[in-house]
């Protein structure tokens, strides 16, 4: 099993190209099920989750092809992927595939809308929380679907004539449920109104793509979204937006180590409150024509007080990385997690570096230390794993991060991007 070896202490200087967002690419790929015509996606990241979703979509009959690189493209340029669901050959998403990636449950929306039925395995638990699918199912019922749970599967059927527009109000913001409802409602008869919709940039990206395919969606990015259903969707081409979590991760890394990084292609507006927090911690953030420049030279790291919130608040997907940064702050930071109940599992591993972190319910109090010491550590999930890399970059001596398959799910060639900016980091195979 692969591991990552880091020798800490080097500043990060240079340029890091930001890949396409995994959290946008996955729902965009699933949207290909809505049309028999080809959906072409540019800037698709090369990640384990993308490869797995290609397999899952292939199970339903989607033909997937990846275009070769042009001579003028560098090694970090995202892929162009063409997805054609000319014929849906199977409306069942089996447990052995859905259990490996929760986002694959989202196929229930487009399958139900286009084919009138879907049998999708319930995804089960997850390391950082249960993430129930109740909102998904309630929303689809609001469009006229009947849903039964049998043998660990959601059996969904649309009424005769297909789904019908309706008003759906989520009791709590859910990104996944909003994605599913956007896709399902695009082919429903009449108008659908989604209230308390998620506002994340990835929601806007999906709506933009669906509109290119012929959907009629207004209000994406606000808490109330209107969808006027259409009879069919057609071919389109769309570029995946830059990954805001990768952007924030590398920004936190340079704030942690010192140095000066240009995050190529990054957009400040996608990060909501995250860049504001980084500036409070002592980093300098500057928008440029090429992306976002982040620097910290000389001054120490200031403590912060942060609560994770849905967009545009501070994202839960950067909470672990920020906690790593806080371990070196000059004072006491408080980080409160409100989105997922088990998202402090990285605390025990950060303590192996010598971090001083105390947990009280959903709040972590982090007292900065003068120096972290390299250590062997174990990743527990995607975001926790990269927090250990960030700590290792600033720690004295050698760090070995185990279970890096978590990293490969969400960060494209992380060690290559960091090493070109001065980090001593390498992948150990076997």
Residues 115-154 pLDDT 10s: 999 999 988 644 434 446 889 999 999 999 999 999 989 9
Q: Give residue limits of the domains in the chain.
A: 3-18+243-428, 22-232
Report the CATH number of the 22-232 domain: 3.65.10.10
CB 255 within 8 A of CB 293: no
State yes or no: pLDDT of 337 exceeds 60.
yes
Q: Going by DSSP bridges, is the β-strand pair 167-169/191-195 parallel, antiparallel, or unpaired?
A: parallel
Q: Which residues are annotated as a binding site?
A: 22-23, 102, 172-175, 317, 339
Q: Tell me whether the CATH fold assigned to 3-18+243-428 matches the one assigned to 22-232.
A: yes
* Region class of 299: left (phi > 0), else alpha (psi between -120 and 50), else beta: beta
Q: Which residues are annotated as a binding site for UDP-N-acetyl-alpha-D-glucosamine?
A: 102, 172-175, 317, 339
What CA–CA distance (Å, rounded) separates 413 from 46? 9
pLDDT at 72: 62
Kindly state the average pLDDT of the residues 39-53: 95
What CA–CA distance (Å, rounded) separates 191 from 142? 12
DSSP 336: E
∠ at Cα 204 (201, 209), nearest 5°? 130
Q: Which residues are annotated as a binding site for phosphoenolpyruvate?
A: 22-23
Kindly state the average pLDDT of the residues 315-344: 92
Q: Which of 126, 127, 149, 299 is catalytic?
A: 126
Q: Diameter of the chain by CA atoms?
A: 67
Kindly state the average pLDDT of the residues 226-231: 98
Token digits for 157? 């059927």
Q: Which CATH class is domain 3-18+243-428?
A: alpha beta
pTM for the full model? Answer: 0.94
Active-site annotation holds for 126: yes
């Amino acid at each position: 099993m692969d591991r990552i070896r880091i020798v800490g202490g080097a500043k990060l200087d240079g340029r890091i190209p930001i890949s396409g967002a995994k959290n946008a690419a996955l729902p965009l790929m699933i949207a290909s099920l809505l049309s028999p015509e080809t959906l072409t996606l540019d800037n698709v990241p090369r990640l384990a989750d993308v490869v797995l979703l290609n397999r899952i979509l292939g199970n339903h009959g989607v033909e997937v092809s990846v275009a070769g690189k042009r001579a003028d493209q560098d090694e970090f340029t995202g892929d162009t992927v063409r997805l054609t669901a000319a014929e849906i050959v199977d409306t069942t998403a089996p447990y052995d595939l859905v259990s490996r990636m929760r986002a694959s449950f989202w196929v229930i929306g487009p399958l139900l809308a286009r084919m009138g039925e879907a049998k999708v395995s319930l995804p089960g638990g997850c390391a950082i929380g249960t993430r129930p699918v109740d909102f998904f199912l309630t929303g689809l019922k609001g469009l006229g679907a009947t849903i039964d749970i049998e043998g660990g599967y959601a059996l969904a059927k649309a009424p005769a004539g297909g789904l019908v527009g309706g008003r759906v109000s989520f009791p709590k913001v859910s990104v996944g449920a909003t994605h599913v409802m956007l896709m399902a409602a695009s082919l429903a008869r009449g108008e659908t109104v989604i209230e308390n919709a998620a506002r994340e940039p990835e929601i806007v990206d999906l709506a933009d793509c669906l509109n290119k395919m012929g959907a009629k969606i207004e209000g994406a990015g606000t808490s109330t979204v209107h969808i006027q259903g259409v009879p069919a969707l057609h071919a389109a081409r769309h570029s995946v937006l830059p990954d805001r979590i990768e952007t924030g991760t590398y920004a936190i890394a340079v704030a942690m180590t010192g140095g000066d990084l240009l995050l190529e292609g990054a957009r400040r507006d996608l990060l909501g409150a995250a860049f504001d927090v980084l500036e409070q911690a002592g980093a300098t953030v500057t928008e440029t024509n090429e992306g976002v420049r982040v620097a910290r030279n000389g001054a120490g790291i200031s403590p912060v007080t942060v609560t994770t919130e849905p967009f545009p608040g501070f994202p839960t997907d950067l909470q672990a990385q920020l906690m790593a940064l806080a371990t070196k702050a000059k004072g006491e930071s408080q980080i409160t997690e409100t989105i997922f109940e088990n998202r402090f599992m990285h605390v025990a591993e950060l303590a192996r570096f010598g971090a001083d972190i105390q947990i009280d319910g959903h709040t972590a109090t982090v007292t900065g230390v003068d120096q972290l010491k390299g250590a062997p550590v174990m990743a527990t999930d995607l975001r926790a794993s990269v927090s250990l890399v960030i700590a290792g970059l600033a720690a004295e001596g050698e760090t070995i991060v185990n279970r890096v398959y978590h990293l490969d799910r969400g960060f494209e060639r992380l060690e290559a991007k960091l090493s070109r900016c001065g980090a001593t980091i390498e992948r150990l195979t076997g």
